[in-house]
Amino acid sequence: MIGGVGVDLCEIGRIRRALTGTAGTRFRERVFTADEQAYCEGRGRGRYESYAARFAAKEAAMKVLGTGWAAGVGWRDVEVVRAQDAAPRLRLHGEAARIARRKRLVRWHVTLSHTRTTAIAWVLAETRS
């Protein structure tokens, strides 16, 4: 059964500016896990699109949880993971994982896409039947 759906758009230029500005390192460390950073940096010229898609996925997942960036859920509590040649998936940590358990959200689906200027993420969570 569907437990929630979230979607979010993110401007790639906004993420590029956040990552390359004076507080870029702080932003990267506060928002993205080490594995997310490694994946995005490995994308070379496409790294900003990858960061933006992951940022959108985090916001979409927070919408499913019903928290936004509140209720103790941090940016790194929602992680987009991707094995080589596999579709991306979500891994929840900390307060996000606790809220998901409380809401009986057991299976997460995520899809990411982007144009030259905008990234989008769509997240669906299933409940335990």
DSSP state of 128: P
For the chain, domain boundaries? 2-127
Distance, CA of 103 to CA of 61 (rounded, Å) = 13
- Tokens at 78, concatenated: 């929602």
Residue 57: its pLDDT value, please?
A: 98
92, amino acid identity: L
CATH topology of domain 2-127: Ribosomal Protein L22; Chain A (3.90.470)
Tell me what pLDDT residue 84 has: 79
- For residue range 43-63, what is the model confidence (pLDDT) as tens digits? 999 999 999 999 999 999 999
Are the C-beta atoms of residues 110 and 126 closer than 8 Å to each other?
Answer: no
58-102 pLDDT, tens per residue?
A: 999 999 999 877 778 999 999 999 877 889 999 999 999 999 999
The answer to whether the CB of 124 falls within 8 A of the CB of 62 is: no
